[in-house]
């Protein structure tokens, strides 16, 4: 295998700053350090140095830090140079480093090398990016937990338990004469129960983390004039959307993020659904339908001032028009006109909320309902910075374990049981990156900032 390139990137933010940080990683680092500093710094000690050009004249001066492999972020030799933060001066130092044999790093390439050298797993790498992008303190705390490997350790623990279960059953397959009756085997059932329990607790924490990271996408939809924009404004706490009594006021999909006790909710107000009167509105309705199809939850607004909330014939037909599989909450708005009290009924399908966007009555009920239906726990203790990719892998792994359990109780086909467990392990391995495609790696690291 050929040795990797030595890569360089500006690690501090672009533009003017007090300090400009440049990072170099790769096999050429020792000779590059001598080239630019005149000597190799003592490992892991900050040293004041001049940064020299090809003629030996100072370009800038500052601190230099040398981390010999493998005790560095990337696992390779790393040199970090901290000079003055002017755009031009940082660029001059960078040019010198390129002359000395580095090439510019791609986004996330330092972290990718850390992954390839076994310093971090994929879930940790993703958490680093999530930490940098965190939009709230709760999300940042969840990212730190994942970055420090708590999420990966829990996944690994689950995998170990499944391995144990597999070994237990495979031993029985190898010795068929021993006639073990698995159905009455309490040790086996206890192991299986422990695996299910492990899935449950990790999935709760991961779902929580994904919610903190990505937020809940809530689309407000319904007939023109139902009060969608009014609801958007009262949830957002300011006049984001234009409200008029003219049906068809909203055309574009309007976005606003709000936080419900730390839960980020991405609200989308949409054009009223009807046969549009002109091409602009028709485009608005098309966009509204697109948003609805992608929503985590649709708030379908019905004007209770017209229907009183009782005319189910009307909105039942409208609901049937929505794409199947998107969770819906029916919101009866304008209860100030009907005199009905604010109310939440989540025993019905879909659940119903009676409120007034105008007076604000019932809004706390709607907020609580959104948190609850998303599975959000107000205390974010133990959440991981999970992504949908992780939730998806957890769900598939859990399904395989469920299949395995079903097989065991119905057919006693141990080979199938063991195979399902193997598939579960494989799905879990996708989270930490044991089984990853080039494409996935490109996608994950490509979204990093340069220099990370
Ligand atoms: N009395 C009362 N009027 C409301 C309430 N909510 C909205 N309205 C009124 O209903 C009319 C339509 O409100 P909008 O919020 O613009 O309705 P919309 O669903 O966004 O309408 P389009 O954008 O045209 O689809 C306005 O005159 C609002 O003032 C409410 O809770 N009570
Ligand atoms: Mg509107």
**pLDDT tens, residue by residue, 118-173:** 999 999 999 988 888 888 888 888 888 888 888 999 999 999 999 888 888 877 77
Same domain, 173 and 269: no
Confidence of residue 380 (pLDDT cuts 50, 70, 90): low
Same domain, 109 and 254: no
Same domain, 179 and 317: no
pLDDT in tens, 295-309: 999 999 999 887 655
* Residue ID of nearest Cα to ligand 1 atom 14: 227
The answer as to whether 382 is a domain residue is no
Burial grade of 133 (CB within 10 A; 0-12, 13-18, 19 or more): middle
Residues 6+ apart with CB under 8 A from 123: 146, 151, 152, 155, 390, 431, 432, 433
> CA 240, CA 105: separation in Å to the nearest integer?
41
- Using most ligand atoms within 8 A of CB, pick from 223, 227, 275, 306 the residue to mutate for ligand 1: 227
What pLDDT sits at residue 261? 84
Same domain, 162 and 198: yes
CB 82 within 8 Å of CB 11 = no
Same domain, 234 and 336: yes
On the question of pLDDT at 1 being above 50, the answer is: no
The answer as to whether 300 is a domain residue is yes
User: End of a domain among 372, 401, 419?
Assistant: 372
**Polymer length of the chain:** 452
Same domain, 99 and 146: no
On the question of pLDDT at 311 being above 80, the answer is: no
Which residues are near ligand 1 (CB < 6 Å)? 224-230, 243-245, 247-250, 271-272, 333-334, 336-337, 356-358
What pLDDT sits at residue 182? 61
Burial grade of 170 (CB within 10 A; 0-12, 13-18, 19 or more): middle
On the question of pLDDT at 13 being above 90, the answer is: no
Same domain, 316 and 185: no
Distance 433 CA to ligand 1 centre (A): 49
Residues with C-beta atoms within 5 A of ion ligand 2: 228-229, 249-250
Helix 438-446 vs helix 122-133: crossing angle, to nearest 10: 20
Q: Measured from the CA of 357, which atom of ligand 1 is nearest?
A: 31
CATH number of the domain where residue 309 is located: 3.40.50.300
Same domain, 116 and 132: no
Same domain, 301 and 262: yes
pLDDT in tens, 15-65: 888 899 999 999 999 999 999 999 999 999 998 999 999 999 999 999 999
The ligand that comes nearest to the alpha carbon of residue 227 is: 1
Distance 299 CA to ligand 1 centre (A): 15
Is the N-terminal amide bond of 108 cis, ω within 30° of 0?
no
The answer as to whether 145 is a domain residue is yes
The answer as to whether 377 is a domain residue is no
Distance 271 CA to ligand 2 centre (A): 6
User: End of a domain among 348, 372, 396?
Assistant: 372
Task: Quote the tokens at residue 200.
Answer: 């449950």
* pLDDT mean over 400-423: 86
SS3 state at 105: coil
Domain extent, residue 70, equals 7-120
What pLDDT sits at residue 381? 65
Distance 269 CA to ligand 2 centre (A): 7
How many domains are contained in the chain? 3
The answer as to whether 378 is a domain residue is no
Name the E strands within 174-295. Answer: 216-222, 254-260, 263-269
Distance 284 CA to ligand 1 centre (A): 17
Same domain, 137 and 262: no
User: End of a domain among 372, 407, 424?
Assistant: 372
Q: Measured from the CA of 269, which atom of ligand 1 is nearest?
A: 20
Residues 6+ apart with CB under 8 A from 237: 258
> CA 132, CA 410: separation in Å to the nearest integer?
49
The answer as to whether 254 is a domain residue is yes
Percent of the chain predicted with pLDDT > 90:
54
The answer as to whether 451 is a domain residue is no
What pLDDT sits at residue 433? 85
219: phi > 0 → left, psi -120 to 50 → alpha, else beta; which? beta
The answer as to whether 226 is a domain residue is yes
Same domain, 353 and 233: yes
CB 223 within 8 Å of CB 318 = yes
Distance 193 CA to ligand 2 centre (A): 50
CATH number of the domain where residue 51 is located: 3.30.1360.120
Same domain, 246 and 319: yes
The ligand that comes nearest to the alpha carbon of residue 224 is: 1
């Amino acid at each position: 295998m050929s040795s990797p390139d030595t890569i360089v990137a500006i690690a501090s933010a672009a533009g003017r700053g007090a300090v400009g940080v440049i990072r170099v990683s790769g096999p050429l680092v020792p000779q590059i350090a001598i080239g630019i500093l005149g000597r190799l710094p003592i490992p892991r000690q900050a040293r004041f140095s001049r940064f020299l050009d090809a003629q030996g004249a100072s370009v800038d001066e500052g601190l230099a830090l040398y981390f010999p492999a493998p005790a560095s972020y990337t696992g390779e030799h790393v040199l970090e140079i901290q000079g003055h933060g002017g755009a031009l001066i940082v660029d001059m130092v960078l040019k010198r480093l390129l002359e000395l044999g580095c090439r510019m790093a791609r986004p996330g390439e330092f972290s990718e090398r850390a992954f390839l050298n076994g310093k971090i797993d994929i879930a940790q790498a993703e958490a680093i990016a999530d930490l940098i992008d965190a939009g709230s303190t709760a999300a940042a705390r969840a990212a730190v937990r994942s970055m420090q490997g708590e999420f990966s350790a829990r996944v690994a623990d689950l995998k170990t338990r499944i391995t144990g279960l597999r070994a237990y059953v495979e031993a029985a397959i190898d010795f068929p004469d021993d006639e073990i009756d698995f159905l009455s085997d309490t040790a086996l059932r206890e192991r299986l129960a422990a695996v299910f329990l492990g899935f449950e607790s990790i999935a709760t924490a991961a779902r929580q983390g994904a919610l903190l990271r990505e937020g809940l996408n809530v689309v407000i939809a319904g007939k023109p004039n139902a009060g969608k924009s009014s609801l958007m404004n009262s949830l957002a706490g300011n006049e984001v959307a234009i409200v008029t009594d003219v049906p068809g006021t909203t055309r574009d999909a309007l976005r606003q993020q709000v936080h419900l006790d730390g839960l980020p909710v991405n609200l989308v107000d949409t054009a009223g659904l009807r046969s549009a009167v002109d091409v602009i509105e028709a485009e608005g309705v098309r966009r509204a339908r697109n948003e609805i199809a992608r929503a985590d939850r649709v708030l379908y607004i019905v004007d209770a001032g017209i229907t009183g909330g009782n005319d189910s014939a009307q909105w039942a037909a409208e609901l049937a028009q929505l794409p199947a599989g998107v969770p819906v909450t029916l919101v009866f708005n304008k209860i100030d006109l009907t005199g009905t009290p604010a109310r939440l009924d989540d025993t019905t399908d879909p659940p119903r909320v009676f409120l007034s966007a105008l007076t604000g009555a019932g809004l706390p009920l709607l907020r609580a309902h959104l948190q609850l239906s998303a599975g959000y726990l107000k205390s974010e203790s133990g959440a991981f910075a999970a992504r949908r990719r992780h939730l998806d892998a957890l769900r598939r792994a859990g399904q395989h374990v469920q299949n395995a359990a079903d097989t065991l109780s119905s057919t006693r086909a141990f080979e199938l049981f063991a195979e399902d467990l193997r598939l579960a392990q494989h799905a879990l391995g996708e989270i930490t990156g044991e089984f990853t495609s080039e494409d996935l790696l490109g996608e994950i690291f490509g979204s990093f900032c340069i220099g990370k």
